[in-house]
A and B are shown apart, each in its own frame.
Chain A
Amino acid sequence: MAQPEYEKYYVPDSSPWPIVGAVALFLIAVGAGNFVIEQTRNTSGYGGHILVAGFATLIFMLFGWFRNQIHESMSGLYSAQLGRSYRQGMAWFIFSEVMFFGAFFGALFYARMIAIPWLGGSGNNAATNEVLWPAFEAIWPLVETPGGVQTEAMGWYGLPLINTVILLISSVTCHFAHVALEENKRGRLKLMLGITVLLGAIFMVLQVEEYLHAYQEMGLTLQSGIYGNTFFLLTGFHGLHVTLGAIILFIMLLRIFKGHFTPDDHFAFQAGSWYWHFVDVVWVMLFFFVYIL
């Protein structure tokens, strides 16, 4: 690490945005909890409304908070030391995201390497298989569960392969955009970032396509056993992250059109680009472990 300099560290005065954010998360949690109960139990209630109100509050908070932040940053209140705080904060946040995906990859590996072979009678578990489901065969992808639910396995060629190529290209264009920003080539920056966002959007459209195909033609659903569970939760959470990443980069694009960011000072852009690369790496892991293997 470089020798830190000690400029004046900006400690903001009190701000209303965090408490608004806390209320937003409260509404989201209450709303989502009740919404889940109402949807699955077919009862009526206000869960959905509270959830929408929560997201509206969150968006309101994000606009207010970031507007405040951008204003402070552009009026030169921030120091290089504060910039380091932001970068380190973002890096640790991405690490926490890695661990979140780790939990689901862990479930995938455990089911595949341990749970299913044991159900099939491997090791000293012959009795498990005999007593519980003697007809069960341990194979992966698990196209027939011990309980008898059947499904089809998703191939890696076709849409998933196209999507992999799309995301890999978008990672490269995102990097080119970053280089263009650092070299102050604004035209190229806009072009490259625009392409990145567009590729992200195409990825999401194709992902929706794939889900429809899985649900309507393959019988691969959230209910079709551990294969479908790990498939949908991993790709689903990844999809949510792609959506979020694309929105972040889109907002960066709008800010670039307004003339924000300089070659030396562009933390928000950098954070968005880090996030995008992270989402890409997760996809490569997904493509390898969920689709190919």
Chain B
Amino acid sequence: MSTVTDTIHHDDDHHEHHAPPSGIKRWLYTTNHKDIGTLYLWFAFIMFLTGGAMAMVIRAELFQPGLQIVDPNFFNQMTTVHGLIMVFGAVMPAFTGLANWLVPMMIGAPDMALPRMNNWSFWILPFAFLILLSSLFMEGGGPAFGWTFYAPLSTTYSGDSTALFVFSVHIMGISSIMGAINVIVTIFNMRAPGMTWMKMPLFVWTWLITAFLLIAVMPVLAGAVTMVLTDKFFGTSFFDAAGGGDPVMFQHIFWFFGHPEVYIMILPAFGIISQIVPTFARKRLFGYASMVYATASIALLSFIVWAHHMFTTGMPVFAEMFFMLATMLISVPTGVKVFNWVATMWRGSLSFEVPMLFALAFIVLFTIGGLSGLMLAITPVDFQYHDTYFVVAHFHYVLVTGAIFSIMAAVYYWLPKWTGKMFDITLAKWHFWCSLVSVNVLFFPMHFVGLAGMPRRIPDYALQFADFNKWISLGGFAFGLSQLIFLALLIKACSKKGEPVSDQVWEGAEGLEWEIPSPAPYHTFETPPVIK
């Protein structure tokens, strides 16, 4: 977006800082945004593999009809903890890690605004997930009520481990809120002179809006889990009609958090794609301003669409109509984005490096997920789709081939800047093509079994779904194995092997982060650059 006309003095003032302490203390005590970004990204990847392993259990059980591998209660724990880990442990921390690495470099700031709080936000997460995962080994098992923990499943019918679930979600929320405050304050207060709002890279814009959503809705989630806790253990009746409450009220509170939450998991992805596509199309992003406004509109609309998750709860018809129409409205700004990415590529000189491959896959596959979302938004047809595999297909297209593909695109795009070396391109291409094929074998047939009525979250199914489920499971195992290629690539990239790269790394890359050396020095922009 912007160009630096001033000389950037990389080495200024370096003597003032000590070198990073060596060993474990560096990572435990660090206040450096790059270290913390790395910690977030590795943590997210470990959680991605953990949650993925649970998905493998689910797919193994569903390989054939009938109950064969795990008992239903354990199956429920797997679907629940898979969802919780992927949402709160993999996707959100990965985006926060990218924000940590990139936002200060993109706006010409020396670090995040509140570096010590930044470290605190990260180190809460491993502990929170330690609690969640160890609750699986408690008597009666871990949480088994679905990641949405609907009452009364989470109140009347849940195990005692619910108390630990509640408190682990509380501290995850504290972590997210502190992380989001840090991002917002950094962007408001730390931009280099001349980095005006409409010069900010789109990744920074989308993260600014995401951080706002996080601060607005994570406390609502805290309220929801608190009410679950008191309903289960202290005899309140927020979600119990006999005491004047309402189980449907749980869903309203939960989805008031939950719908902005799904945009928290996709807006930074929009930002990433908006950085990558112009680079490999060698053109400026088409419609920069409209991208900013579209992101803001999506964020605002996200607060008034929550009940489209609840069409079958028996809301008044007026509410169903309102939430249907409001939801459909979101396809307008989302359409603007897809149009702009395509228009950016129009008559560009395209090249297909690995980040671009993932970005292109994102654009196509995310759009499929968006369109099935549009189908689900139509109240009368949702009565048939609700709680079927069609919904599972929809949100995995937007979250796996959407959010996760964008994270992979981002890692491939900025990894050479982080390590100073080009990653193993052959392995990366294997990773891309194996993931692309297997992910579609995995999720595309779910549309069909869903439309035919196969319910989600059930360890068994009717015989007519057997063939499709066999292929879905095979696709799932293949997708899981493909991620081990990614693991191998990352380990190789971190062991400092590979061709050194230039500062700009990619021929068409523009922005402040491409004007500092590769690998990025431990401290950057201690004297802010001047942007004209």
Binding site for B on A (CB under 8 A): 4, 6, 8-9, 11-19, 21-23, 25-26, 28-30, 32-34, 36-37, 39-41, 65, 81, 84-86, 88-89, 92-93, 95-97, 99-100, 102-104, 106-107, 110-111, 114-116, 118-119, 123-124, 132, 142, 145-147, 149, 222-223, 225-229, 233
Contact = CB atoms under 8 A, between A and B. Distances in A.
B142 to A, nearest CB: 12
B120 A18 contact: yes
Nearest to A83: B189
Contacts, number: 236
B130 A226 contact: no
A135 to B, nearest CB: 13
Given A16-B29, A115-B241, A110 B249 contact: yes
A85 B113 contact: yes
Contact of B29 (A6, A19, A104): A19
A17 B116 contact: yes
B220 A99 contact: yes
A88 B127 contact: no
A32 B167 contact: yes
Contacts of A86: 114
Task: Find the residue from B114, B190, B237 having the highest chain A CB count within 10 A.
Answer: B237
Top 9 closest pairs, chain A to chain B, by CB? A103-B223, A147-B242, A226-B244, A22-B123, A14-B29, A26-B127, A100-B219, A18-B120, A115-B246
Interface string B422-458: 0000000000000000000000000000000000000
Contacts of A114: 246, 249
A103 B28 CA distance: 35
A76 to B, nearest CB: 15
A14 B21 contact: yes
A41 B193 CA distance: 60
Interface of B: 17-18, 20-21, 25-26, 28-32, 109-111, 113-117, 119-120, 123-124, 127-128, 130-131, 160, 163-164, 166-168, 170-171, 174, 177, 180-182, 184-185, 188-193, 215-220, 222-224, 226-227, 229-230, 233-238, 241-246, 248-249, 252-253, 256, 316, 523, 526, 528
A180 B46 CA distance: 54
A26 B171 contact: yes
A28 B131 CA distance: 11
Given A30-B131, A30-B167, A92-B181, A12 B253 contact: no
A178 B116 CA distance: 28
B246 A25 contact: no
Given A26-B131, A85-B113, A99 B249 contact: no
A110 to B, nearest CB: 5
A102 B185 CA distance: 23
28 contacts: A9-B111, A11-B523, A14-B30, A15-B116, A15-B119, A18-B116, A18-B117, A21-B120, A25-B174, A29-B168, A32-B163, A32-B167, A34-B163, A40-B233, A85-B185, A97-B219, A99-B219, A103-B223, A103-B227, A106-B253, A110-B249, A119-B241, A145-B237, A145-B243, A147-B242, A229-B238, A229-B245, A233-B227
A147 B244 CA distance: 8
B224 A103 contact: yes
Given A26-B171, A89-B181, A81 B245 contact: no
Nearest to B30: A14
Contact of B215 (A30, A65, A92, A228): A92
